[in-house]
């Protein structure tokens, strides 16, 4: 080889270093066609969007469920408090009824009540008898009072005649005394009339 030839030839690596070889096993990737790559990317994006929307919906449903559980828990708590209040009211009524029952136990027995009824009936009959007697006594005293009034009117009439010689006044007084004696309906008063 000549020097000119050696200058034109490219330098070759020394023989001790092996030259890299191309892997014969690795197949070459076919270049994806443009329409297939854009359609796959769109469907992948749509799938990711659907998964994301599904996640958001699932999260929203979870939050709604938590709110419902919280509302149910609040209702149960209110029901429990209402039941507790009713229990307290029932316990209070039970205490009141026990107190009333204690008072009822202090009431007299049936035989004592019967004795009291008998005494009350006796007392009422005695009262009626006394009332009749009082009426009789008052009636008699009223009759005596009316007779005393008639007697007084007759004395006044006599005074009017003897002292003042006023016949008209004396006649009126005698007439009033006669009315009183008529109302008495006493047969002994007929002679006086």
Summarize pLDDT for 125-157 with one digit per residue, the tens.
888 887 777 777 666 677 778 888 888 888 888
Which residue in 145, 140, 146, 152 sits closest to 180, CA to CA?
Answer: 146
pLDDT more than 90, % of the chain: 26
Range of the domain at 188: 138-193
Q: Token pair for residue 112?
A: 């004592």
From its phi and psi, is residue 109 left (phi > 0), alpha (psi between -120 and 50) or beta? beta
Residue 172 lies in a domain: yes
What angle in degrees, to the nearest 10, is found between the helix axes of 110-159 and 167-184? 150
In a domain, 121, yes or no: no
Alpha helices in 32-109 (DSSP H): 34-105
Evaluate whether residue 62 is within a structural domain: yes
pTM for the model:
0.31
User: What single DSSP character describes residue 187?
Assistant: G
Q: Report the C-alpha dihedral over residues 36, 42, 45, 50, rounded to 10 degrees.
A: -120
Domain count, the chain: 2
Say if 42 falls within a structural domain.
Answer: no
pLDDT in tens, 158-175: 888 888 888 888 889 889
Nearest to 152 by CA among 174, 171, 167, 183: 174
Instruction: Answer whether residue 9 is part of any domain.
Output: no
pLDDT recorded at residue 192 = 61
- Say yes or no: 143 and 192 in one domain: yes
104 occurs within a structural domain: yes
């Amino acid at each position: 080889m000549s020097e000119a030839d050696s200058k034109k030839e490219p330098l070759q690596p020394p023989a001790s270093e092996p030259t890299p070889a191309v892997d014969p096993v690795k197949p070459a990737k076919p270049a994806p066609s443009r329409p297939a790559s854009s359609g796959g990317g769109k469907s992948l994006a749509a799938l990711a969007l659907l998964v994301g929307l599904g996640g958001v919906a699932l999260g929203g449903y979870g939050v709604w469920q938590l709110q419902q559980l919280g509302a149910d828990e609040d209702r149960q708590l209110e029901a429990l408090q209402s039941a507790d209040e009713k229990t307290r009211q029932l316990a209070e009524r039970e205490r009141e009824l026990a107190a009333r029952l204690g008072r009822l136990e202090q009431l007299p027995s049936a035989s004592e009540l019967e004795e009291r009824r008998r005494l009350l009936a006796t007392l009422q009959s005695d009262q009626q008898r006394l009332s009749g007697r009082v009426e009789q006594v008052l009636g008699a005293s009223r009759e005596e009072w009316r007779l005393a009034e008639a007697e007084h009117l007759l004395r006044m009439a006599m005074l009017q005649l003897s002292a003042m010689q006023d016949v008209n006044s004396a006649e009126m007084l005698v007439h009033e005394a006669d009315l009183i004696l008529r109302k008495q309906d006493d047969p002994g008063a007929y002679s006086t009339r």
